[in-house]
Amino acid sequence: MTDCSNSLENFDFHKIFENWDDGVLITDSQGFVLMHNQAYLRLTFLPFESLVGMNMRELIRKKYATNIASLRVLEDRQPVSMTHSNEKGTIVVSSNPVFDTHGSIAVVVTFVRELTEIVRLREELMQAKEIEEMYFKYNQKEYSTTHNVPIAVSKMMNHTLVLAANIAQVAANVLLTGESGVGKDVIANYIHKQSSRKEAPFIAVNCAALPENLLESELFGYDSGAFTGAARAGKSGLFEAAQGGTLFLDEIGDISQSFQAALLRVLETKEIKRIGAVKPIKIDVQIIAATNRDLEEMLKAGEFRSDLFYRLNIFRIKIPPLRDRREDIIPLGMYFMNLFNNQYHRQKRLSHEVLRQLTKYDWPGNIRELRNVIERMVVMSNGDYLSVSELPESLRNDFELHPSVIVTGIMPINYAIEETEKQILTNALRTYVSTRKIGHILGIDHSTVVRKLKKYRLN
């Protein structure tokens, strides 16, 4: 059997202390330093290569400190904790007495920990808690049946919803503008549900998806024998189907000028004529139109009728792109994940790294692109947690490590190394919260990461 006591006596504990992320200092009963690790010097910002043999009172005399925990322990004979802050950071110092068999203080052991790391870990924990709450809040089955409000956490989107709810109280025409995929159809439906017409039909039609002749027959309907192939009994159009309710005309900027004239007549007369019919039909329909095109520029270019524009533009709501309301990205991602988990009978979860990467991406395709990304990951992922490696390449570009470095000029080697280190650490901080994770990814010790972040003043 191995003699553990002999092994410990011969073991160099200084090696253990040097590998600790926390600073360690051991002083004797008179305040002289017996040993410390380099982390202690780094965290306390003391400009010495070694403190061994120095009395801690020297630090006070030389004005490196005004209050030292280990000296307080010698006075109070009990553990002491204190916090020190300066422009470089905040640390927590904890000193503890170790008594000999006679009840006298033999040594004082001091530990120093960076408070910013503790705060960061606490923030990570709080963020994880918030994410867990979102998993339950935005469960697709419960949210879709108990909420009639689109998901909005950002102030910008909440302001949009308040505006939409106010406009819903009148029956005037509404023009929704915004980039493709921002959710104009969702806002249109929200206006309908907030209005007095909510019990009547909500009919949506994509004007860009139908050729002009088919669009006219779909919207206005047709009488018997109106054209070759027409149904014998004729057919009512979408204006009639939406009677008393709301007709949503998406991509209104894509209709031809001849159809613009036909639509203008409907808005002016509140009547439609089926194709091939003689008698007009009175309609009571609220029109909500939407476009991702700049109608004012189309007016200048003569591509859109000004009279139709002013008829549609009684109330206008501009829906902000997803990149301008990043607070909504995670809740929307959670909602879609739960939606597709239910649809495909999966139990996938979004990892913390994926969520951070989702919020960094600019989403040129907006909510539609986010929905497609989440659906693909839920379907294709093999693990329980959706990982960064399963993100589309466009979302991984900033995340992945690129080993090649291109140098186009001449500079001092030390400067080049420091600049490269700084850029690598900056990129890593955009993706990871934990310095331990950064160390793992970059292949260096956690303590080295912390030291270099302080060196380059990176948060």
Q: How far apart are CA 439 and CA 436, in angstroms?
A: 5
Q: Quote the pLDDT of residue 418.
A: 78
Structure tokens at 102: 């006679």
Reported in sequence order, the residue ranges of 332-438 that DSSP labels E, i.e. its strands, are 349-350, 385-386
Who contacts 100 (Cβ-Cβ below 8 Å, separation ≥6)?
106
Q: How far apart are CA 43 and CA 278, in angstroms?
A: 88
Q: What is the pLDDT of residues 282-300, one digit of tens each?
A: 999 999 999 999 999 999 9
Q: What is the sign of the dihedral through the CA atoms of 360, 365, 370 and 376?
A: negative
**CA 451 from centre of chain:** 28
Q: How confident is the model at residue 4 (pLDDT cuts 50, 70, 90)?
A: very low
318: left (phi over 0), alpha (psi -120 to 50) or beta: beta
Structure tokens at 118: 């503790």
Q: What is the mean pLDDT of residues 219-242?
A: 77
Q: What is the sign of the dihedral through the CA atoms of 80, 85, 88 and 90?
A: positive
Q: What is the mean pLDDT of residues 217-239?
A: 76
Q: What is the mean pLDDT of residues 149-171?
A: 91
Structure tokens at 363: 């989403």
The answer to whether 70 and 108 are in contact (CB under 8 A) is yes
Q: Quote the pLDDT of residue 296.
A: 94
Q: How confident is the model at residue 450 (pLDDT cuts 50, 70, 90)?
A: confident
Q: Hunting for tokens 């160099």 — which residue is that? A: 12
Q: What is the pLDDT of residues 97-141, one digit of tens each?
A: 999 998 999 999 999 987 766 666 666 666 666 666 665 666 655
Q: How far apart are CA 153 and CA 332, in angstroms?
A: 10
Using the predicted structure, report yes or no on whether residue 408 has a pLDDT greater than 80.
Answer: no
In whole numbers, what is the pLDDT of the chain averaged over residues?
84
Q: Hunting for tokens 């509404």 — which residue is that? A: 174
- Residue type at 28 in one-letter notation: D
Q: How confident is the model at residue 402 (pLDDT cuts 50, 70, 90)?
A: very low
Residue in 353, 325, 310 with CA at minimum distance from that of residue 161? 325
Q: How confident is the model at residue 452 (pLDDT cuts 50, 70, 90)?
A: confident
Q: Quote the pLDDT of residue 181.
A: 94
Looking at residue 170, the DSSP 8-state letter turns out to be S
The answer to whether 207 and 215 are in contact (CB under 8 A) is yes
The answer to whether 220 and 275 are in contact (CB under 8 A) is yes
Q: How confident is the model at residue 16 (pLDDT cuts 50, 70, 90)?
A: confident
The answer to whether 454 and 423 are in contact (CB under 8 A) is no
Q: What is the mean pLDDT of residues 383-405?
A: 69
Residue in 424, 350, 451 with CA at minimum distance from that of residue 131? 350
More confident residue, 441 or 45: 45
The answer to whether 192 and 246 are in contact (CB under 8 A) is yes
Angle at 261 between CA 256 and CA 263, to 5 degrees: 90
Q: Quote the pLDDT of residue 388.
A: 82
Can you list the pairs that 221-230 forms with residues at least 24 positions away whose Cβ atoms lie under 8 Å?
221/272, 221/274, 221/275, 222/274, 222/275, 222/276, 222/277, 223/274, 223/275, 223/276, 223/277, 224/276, 225/276, 226/274, 226/275, 226/276, 226/277, 227/275, 227/276, 230/276
Strand partners, 94: 81, 111
